[in-house]
Amino acid sequence: MTHGIVPKLPGSKEVMASTIAQASRRWRVFSAILVVCVASATAVWVFSPVRRQAAATPAPALGVELSNEIQRGAYVARAADCAPCHTAPDGKPFSGGRILKTDFGDMASPNITPDTETGIGGWTRNEFATAVREGVAPHLGFLYPTMSYTSYSKMSDSDIDALYAYIMSQPPVRAPRTEMSLSFPFNLRMLLAGWRKLYFDNSEFKADPAVSDVVNRGAYLVQGAAHCAECHTPRDALGGFDRSRPLAGATIDGFWAPNLTTDPKTGLGGWSEDDIYAYLSGKDTPHGGPFGPMHEVVAESTSHLTEGDNRAIAAYLHQLKPIESVSTGVLDRSLAQASVTRGYAAYKANCAACHRMGGDGVPGLAPPLAGHHALSASSQNVIMPVIAGLSGQTGRLSMPAFELDDQTVADIANYVRSAMGGVTDATATADQVASARAKLH
């Protein structure tokens, strides 16, 4: 079976795509280890060859063949979710400039239109493939892992060919690169050589002969272009994947990206394959719909995939071994009960008008909270909408940010998760809210 992204009948004409995979943790630990690796990293920077050089590709054919390749590339770009990351608010598609906030500083996505001066118009197909799959770009060297090459390394040659044809068919936009504001030593790009030696697995995708073609197709998508691990796999202090806990849930942009394994308590153990398919397709599910960063993924990427591809992803996720998410700790029982009691009053005063006291929501206005999968996953998924608000999502009105003190927000989170999410242990604290609030600025 061929595991290229594009099915025989592509399901999309154009692209808007890329969720941001952020690698962030404590900088002192990172710098200490990297300083030890400086000498070897420098040698690797200069002498280490890239794993694979794609076979020389002839110039694309003209006419119908090229048109089909571009259409296929549009589908690949949807699956890889490229445009959102590479498009600033109100910017032109793929012209870059979106700010990516990390604990190491702010980074801006580059212009990937075919402009020859400020974009990638001068790149060959092989240079493009090396940047996407190997994280090594012309004139820059190693790319920071906010670019999801740690997953895109699994993409096939045929998908890279199609993506290159599509990107090079876009209108060139002159948009000079926005400078990064990374703190020392993270602004030393050559030190990425040490990080790559520790964390970058650039092995190609290998189909599993023990499972069906459908499951293998889903594995190819999840592990490669869809880059699910970038948000849903926990990371260690250096921002590398914890490979002992794949897809077991992680924090992204202040939200908790839920556990995608079949764990019955913290994962998708209670979801059917049809439920997962419906969620990815932007349809209603018994477990609630996407919001926060995942709303953009569904709206701009997965809802544009073919039914076959979304069902393949569902089949793959549905057969993963269960891994329980790591608990963040719970409050003392008496403190928890007091918090839930205060949270009831705060919810009634601030939330019930839209979401109703029973959490049923109002169609077209506010989503139901009762039974929503995000509530059981983490208190972060209640805290963030309250302190940051949510833009209008899935046809509903925007939710404003509330000017409530940290303890009140924590109390609301504990009440909502207890009363509507089936969670018996209260975990939200004022300190947790304060930490989340600090990262918004």
Whether residue 247 sits in one domain with residue 177: no
CA proximity to 233, closest of 148, 144, 136, 118: 148
Burial of 395 (0-12, 13-18, 19+ CB in 10 A): exposed
Whole-number Å distance between alpha carbons of 337 and 301: 41
Q: Which two tokens stand for residue 126?
A: 């092989």
For the beta carbon of residue 212, count every other beta carbon within 10 angstroms: 14
Whether residue 135 sits in one domain with residue 73: yes
Structural domain contains residue 90 = yes
> How many domains, in total, are found in the chain?
3
Structural domain contains residue 207 = no
The reported pLDDT for the residue numbered 76 is 97
Spell out the SS3 assignment of the chain.
Answer: CCCCCCCCCCCCCCCCCCCCCCCCCCHHHHHHHHHHCHHHHHHHHHHCCCCCCCCCCCCCCCCHHHHHHHHHHHHHHHHHCCCCCCECCCCCCCCECCEEEECCEEEECCCCCCCCCCCCCCCCHHHHHHHHHHCEECCCEECCCCCCHHHHCCCCHHHHHHHHHHHHCCCCCCCCCCCCEECCCCCCHHHHHHHHHHHCCCCCCCCCCCCCHHHHHHHHHHHCCCCCHHHHCCECCCCCECCCCCCCCEEECCEEECCCCCCCCCCCCCCCHHHHHHHHCCCCCCCCCCCCHHHHHHHHCHHHCCHHHHHHHHHHHHCCCCCCCCCCCCCCHHHHHHHHHHHHHHHHHHCHHHHCCCCCCECCCECCCCCCHHHHHCCHHHHHHHHHCECCCCCCCCECCCCCCHHHHHHHHHHHHHHHCCCCCCCCCHHHHHHHHHCCC
Q: Which two tokens stand for residue 279?
A: 């969620």
The reported pLDDT for the residue numbered 25 is 40
* Residue that is last in its domain, among 166, 199, 232: 199
The reported pLDDT for the residue numbered 335 is 79
The reported pLDDT for the residue numbered 3 is 56
Q: First vs last Cα of the chain: how many Å apart?
A: 48
The reported pLDDT for the residue numbered 376 is 75
Structural domain contains residue 4 = no
The reported pLDDT for the residue numbered 36 is 38
Amino acid at 314: A
Whether residue 110 sits in one domain with residue 53: yes
* Residue that is last in its domain, among 248, 283, 318: 318
**Binding site for heme c: residue ranges?**
82, 85-86, 228, 231-232, 351, 354-355
Whether residue 83 sits in one domain with residue 192: yes
Cβ atoms of 350 and 404 closer than 8 Å: yes
Range of the domain at 280: 213-318
Q: What is the pLDDT along the chain (441 residues), one digit of tens a residue?
A: 445 555 433 333 333 333 433 434 433 334 444 433 433 443 333 333 344 433 333 444 445 666 899 999 999 999 999 999 999 988 999 999 998 877 778 889 999 999 999 999 999 999 999 999 999 999 889 999 989 999 999 999 999 999 999 999 999 999 988 887 877 887 788 889 999 999 999 999 999 999 999 999 999 999 999 999 999 999 988 889 999 999 999 988 888 899 999 999 889 999 999 999 999 999 988 888 888 889 899 999 999 999 999 999 999 999 999 999 876 655 667 778 899 999 999 999 999 999 989 888 887 778 888 888 877 778 888 999 999 888 755 555 678 889 999 999 999 999 998 888 777 777 889 999 998 898 886
Residue 302 backbone dihedrals phi, psi, to 5 degrees: -65, -30
Whether residue 239 sits in one domain with residue 112: no
Whether residue 230 sits in one domain with residue 188: no
CATH value at residue 423: 1.10.760.10
The reported pLDDT for the residue numbered 104 is 77
Structural domain contains residue 1 = no
Cα atoms in the 13 Å half-sphere on the side-chain side of 373 = 27
Structural domain contains residue 40 = yes
CA proximity to 75, closest of 148, 4, 138: 4
Q: Which two tokens stand for residue 344?
A: 């009831």
The reported pLDDT for the residue numbered 314 is 98
The reported pLDDT for the residue numbered 301 is 96
Whether residue 289 sits in one domain with residue 340: no
pTM of structure: 0.81
Whether residue 175 sits in one domain with residue 31: yes
Structural domain contains residue 409 = yes
Whether residue 360 sits in one domain with residue 284: no
CATH value at residue 293: 1.10.760
Whole-number Å distance between alpha carbons of 3 and 224: 10
Structural domain contains residue 406 = yes
Structural domain contains residue 7 = no
Whether residue 283 sits in one domain with residue 231: yes
Whether residue 217 sits in one domain with residue 309: yes
* Residue that is last in its domain, among 199, 225, 250: 199
Whether residue 400 sits in one domain with residue 341: yes
**Binding site: residue ranges?**
82, 85-86, 228, 231-232, 351, 354-355
Distance (Å) of CA 47 to CA 26, 76, 190, 202, 316: 30, 33, 12, 17, 39
